[in-house]
Structure 1
Amino acid sequence: MEVKDFDYELPEELIAQDPLEDRSSSRLMVLSKDNGEIAHRHFYDICNYLKAGDCLVINNTKVIPARIFGVKEGSGAHLEFLLLKRGENDCWETLVKPGKKAKIGTKIVFGDGSLKGEIVDIIEEGNRIIKFEYDGIFEEILDKLGQMPLPPYITHKLKDKNRYQTVYAKYDGSAAAPTAGLHFTKELIEKIKNMGVEVAEVTLHVGLGTFRPVKVDNVLEHHMHSEFYQINQSEADKINKAKRNGGRIIAVGTTSTRTLESAADENGFLTEKSGWTDIFIYPGYNFKIIDCLITNFHLPKSTLVMLVSALAGREQVLKAYGEAVKEKYRFFSFGDAMFITNDMSEKKLDN
């Protein structure tokens, strides 16, 4: 299986640069994972495809302003850091640009000097461990100095940084948003709950894997970066109950999918669990727990296109992506959504 098998042509003008004013008014492509049938809707129509007894699983991680800029003590050289993973004793794994200027022992000053750091270890490909020094509360300092870590294909700073958060974000820790969740409003979530659909929360802190391109030709040679996840017993119980009663488990985003598939036992059930996952899902994978997926349109040749292809079939997914290009859907983080489902029947609901 080669990476080029997951490539497609995307005109640059279809890469969404800004979020829509109304989150739920983005377009929604509904795709049958069984036969490739396609319907074109808007995201607020998602309710028409959900049924009482289904369980919607959302990722409640919160993006931290993880991009910070500093200057090297002595030379004044500028360095950019992306905080990826919190360690012990104020140490963080970071992605540094330019990495060649960040040797062990390098000292960096951030902002007005309220935050300082020293490179204490080198990992790989520009990754460094930095130990921070500061007075006060780290999160408050980061909130003043940091920027939202938007993907490289978004070319300008976000006006409202809350638009790179889901409305249900709770727990700090992500270097990127779980973007499928950006389409939900609080009102839409309430409407879904009132239909008799259970909403369960899991946590996966999105890390370097989101930013790392696949650099190998053979899919099987790619290694995913590990990310921390957590599922509480109360949420596991909701998901298990829905599954036992014949309801569908519908993951909101590839991050929720990876969490569920990492934590589920061989029978597709969950218990309270936390840990690190580097699960890599590509065609041939047998899903243990999820039935359907709400997701965005992903980068060509990315691990996310591979995950979606594992659920709905590579040829059907690439055909659907071609249809999305033809219909001028908006792509990537601030783009439109896709619902991969096993039931294309639509029930019109009263608003």
Structure 2
Amino acid sequence: MDVNLFDFNLPEELIAQTPLEERTASKLMVLDKETGKIKHETFKNILDYLYPGDCLVLNDTKVLPARLYGMKEETGAKVEVLLLKQLEGDTWETLVKPAKRVKVGTIVSFGDGRLKAKCISENEHGGRNFEFMYEGIFYEVLDSLGEMPLPPYIKEQLDDRSRYQTVFARERGSAAAPTAGLHFTEELLEAIRAKGVYITFITLHVGLGTFRPVSVDSIEEHEMHGEFYQMSHETAEQLNQVRKEGGRIISVGTTSTRTLETIASSYNGEFKESSGWTSIFIYPGYAFKGIDGMITNFHLPKSTLIMLISALAGRENVLHAYEEAVNRRYRFFSFGDAMFITNKLSE
């Protein structure tokens, strides 16, 4: 399947640079995945499209302040390090800029030496594995020195780092936010529960591979990077009960979707307590086994994310919806507006 089938025109000014003051004030496009019918709402009105017995699945991963600015001890040359994945103990896989300055054995110092990192191996595309050295607790040192790893298309400074974190984040480990969850507040979640909708959590630590551009002509040749996920026994039981009682399973974000589909595909459509690494790549032709609907943001042209939602709602429906989103000046990407792909769009 040609990657250009998932291209569309996106004016650069529609890329949201800052979050709205109110999380629930974003626009919400409701898309019927079967008919292509569209409604335009604000996010707080998502309550009108959720029904008793449904279950929302949220990704409770917590974004690390993973971008560090330091200098080589030997020369004082400036180096930027982005933490990607904890390998073992104090050893991390990272991305480095400029990578050519950092060879095996190089020591980079951050915050006047409060944190140091020794390069122990080189990976492709600017990747380096570092062993970190510090006194005290690593995550406390990182909190004081690191910055939120905002995507490269966001040029504005983020004044409040909590706005690139969901209100339900609790499991540290992501290099990027599960951005569909940014629209929820504690008050909205309480209102959803009060309506009789279940809320449960999974964890998928988002890696930058999720956003890696598709650089091949045929999407079948694209390979996804692995990301760590886990589902508890309680969540699995909740989801199986909802399915048994005829409720809908609605994933919040592509990360939740990929986790649910990974597990459901492994257990013939059922959910079980599990953890591991997933590199599942969902594109049109995929038969969904775990979800009935999905809440997501608006994604990049020709990205694996727009391919995923096209698999759920149909490529033509999605591209038509995106065209309407552009015409109506929806805001795109991490701090942008939301879409709810559903199968029960009320009249």
Assess same fold via TM > 0.5.
Answer: yes
In the alignment, the residues of structure 2 paired with residue 106 and residue 2 of structure 1 have an alpha-carbon distance, to the nearest angstrom, of 42
TM-score (structure 2 length as normaliser) = 0.98
| Per-residue Cα deviation, 1:292-322 (whole angstroms, up to 9, x for no partner) | 0000000111110010111011111011000
Q: How does 1:167-316 map to 2 (within 5 A)?
A: 167-264=167-264, 265-316=266-317
Any unmatched runs of 5+ in structure 1?
347-351
Number of residue pairs matched by the alignment: 346
In the alignment, the residues of structure 2 paired with residue 98 and residue 58 of structure 1 have an alpha-carbon distance, to the nearest angstrom, of 36
In the alignment, the residues of structure 1 paired with residue 41 and residue 177 of structure 2 have an alpha-carbon distance, to the nearest angstrom, of 24
CA contact (8 A) 1:266 1:288 kept: no
In the alignment, the residues of structure 2 paired with residue 76 and residue 310 of structure 1 have an alpha-carbon distance, to the nearest angstrom, of 49
| Per-residue Cα deviation, 1:59-85 (whole angstroms, up to 9, x for no partner) | 000001000011112121111111110
Output the amino acid matched with 1:172. R
SS at match of 1:142: helix
SS at match of 2:88: coil
Output the amino acid matched with 2:11. P
In the alignment, the residues of structure 1 paired with residue 80 and residue 210 of structure 2 have an alpha-carbon distance, to the nearest angstrom, of 18
What corresponds to 1:119 in structure 2? 119
Large movers: runs of 4+ above 6 Å: none
TM-score (structure 1 length as normaliser) = 0.97
In the alignment, the residues of structure 2 paired with residue 105 and residue 286 of structure 1 have an alpha-carbon distance, to the nearest angstrom, of 48
CA contact (8 A) 1:151 1:211 kept: no
Output the amino acid matched with 1:335. G
Shift of 1:269: 1.1
| Per-residue Cα deviation, 1:270-305 (whole angstroms, up to 9, x for no partner) | 111011111111111111110100000001111100
In the alignment, the residues of structure 2 paired with residue 126 and residue 61 of structure 1 have an alpha-carbon distance, to the nearest angstrom, of 25
CA contact (8 A) 1:204 1:255 kept: yes
CA contact (8 A) 1:165 1:182 kept: yes
In the alignment, the residues of structure 2 paired with residue 151 and residue 344 of structure 1 have an alpha-carbon distance, to the nearest angstrom, of 33
Output the amino acid matched with 2:160. D
Q: How does 1:126-137 map to 2 (within 5 A)?
A: 126-137=126-137
In the alignment, the residues of structure 1 paired with residue 267 and residue 310 of structure 2 have an alpha-carbon distance, to the nearest angstrom, of 21
What corresponds to 2:344 in structure 1? 343
After superposition, the CA RMSD in angstroms is: 0.9
In the alignment, the residues of structure 2 paired with residue 159 and residue 121 of structure 1 have an alpha-carbon distance, to the nearest angstrom, of 35
| Per-residue Cα deviation, 1:31-73 (whole angstroms, up to 9, x for no partner) | 0100111100110111101110001000000001000011112
Shift of 1:210: 3.3
What corresponds to 2:18 in structure 1? 18
| Per-residue Cα deviation, 1:104-146 (whole angstroms, up to 9, x for no partner) | 1111111110111111112221111111111110000000110
SS at match of 2:92: strand
Shift of 1:156: 2.1
